[in-house]
Amino acid sequence: MDVVVSVWRPWRTATWPHFISIEDQVKAAIAVQADAIAIKGTNKTWVYGAKENLPWPYKAHSNDAMEQEAKAQSLAVDLWCWVDCKNPATQATRVKEATARWNPRNVKLDVEGGVAKKYAYNTGAFLRSLGRLYRHDGTPVKVWLQSYRRPDLHPIAWHKWLTYTDQAGIYLLEGVAPQAYYAGTDDSLSDYARMLRAYDKLSLEIHRTFDWHVTLPTYREHDWQPTAESLEVGIGFLRNELSDRLKGVDFFRLGWLMDKQLEDVRVMLAGYDWGNGEEPEPQIPFEELPEVKRWGIVGGDLRRRGVV
């Protein structure tokens, strides 16, 4: 089972008020048995978190620094890219640039929101512009649709995304990586059962059986956060129902996962048996890692610069 932890704005965690270095952020991912770190590759029409776009380019706080440290510690790197198809050719170009820059194994296309629904008719144009992505060694990058957990409730041209093929007749997308966030409830089992039924219906409609790389919640939202029990039950259900079609899981996101209030989740993940035949054991004691505090600011006009 491939285990990934996603990061977002690692420079914000590395600077005031948290001061948790890129090195310690990577250690936290290792402590929960991650095989890879996923960095945000694009923010629609720009490459995201590149060192030259940050207000302190001389600091080792960028996605470039995260990629280098992850690989130095024998972790792989994946990308998640925010796409809404409003500017299909430009957005596809930025995904290709991010892929060339960070050389990921997987690229997950985060397609959601009102704009993505409005411009769903541009999906084919985006995919034509994107084409097949390749790593530096010439092997294909696996591309996943990282969108809603309920395809029956959100019109984003699902059929086009999951049936589009290249010139050789091979599907461009490996499969789905739904954002399986059961926010507001602890009943992950019922929520995931509904999700699988909706995707099974979609699979029948397009006459395709696809693979899964599910995105799971390790964050807090208002008064809700996942419990270790609900997350473990949900993972077990997905593994049982999807069997060998479940290629991996992606925990969103690292900054929150380091929060003291999610300690039970960290401990569960550190000891979880992913079926690799080895006794799970955290490589970094949690007490050696700094804790993220949930307060702080984002200064300047960083949003307009493609930073946040």
Per-residue pLDDT tens for 235-284?
999 999 999 999 999 999 999 999 989 999 999 999 999 987 666 655 56
Q: How confident is the model at residue 303 (pLDDT cuts 50, 70, 90)?
A: very low
Q: Above pLDDT 90, what percent of the chain?
A: 81
What pLDDT shows up at residue 280?
63
Query: Could you tell me the CATH number of the domain that includes residue 199?
Result: 3.20.20.80
Query: Number of structural domains, the chain?
Result: 1
Contacts of 240 (CB under 8 A, 6+ apart): none
| Overall average pLDDT of the 203-221 stretch | 97
C-alpha closest to that of 130 among 84, 102, 163, 166: 166
pLDDT at 168 over 50: yes
- d(CA 104, CA 274) in angstroms, rounded, equals 22
To the nearest 10 degrees (0 to 180), the angle between helices 228-242 and 188-206 is 30
Minimum mean pLDDT range among 66-70, 89-93, 159-163, 288-292: 288-292
- pTM for the structure as a whole: 0.92
C-alpha closest to that of 5 among 72, 80, 62: 80
| Overall average pLDDT of the 135-157 stretch | 97
What pLDDT shows up at residue 297?
31
Per-residue pLDDT tens for 8-62?
999 989 988 888 999 999 999 999 999 999 999 999 999 999 999 887 877 889 9
Range of the domain at 27: 2-305
More confidently predicted of 13 and 230 = 230
C-alpha closest to that of 79 among 34, 51, 110, 53: 110
Cis, bond preceding 220 (omega within 30 deg of 0): no
What pLDDT shows up at residue 296?
36
The answer to whether residues 26 and 63 touch, using CB atoms and an 8 Å cutoff, is no
Q: What's the mean pLDDT when you consider all of the chain? A: 91
Per-residue pLDDT tens for 176-200?
999 999 999 999 999 999 999 999 9
Q: How confident is the model at residue 286 (pLDDT cuts 50, 70, 90)?
A: low
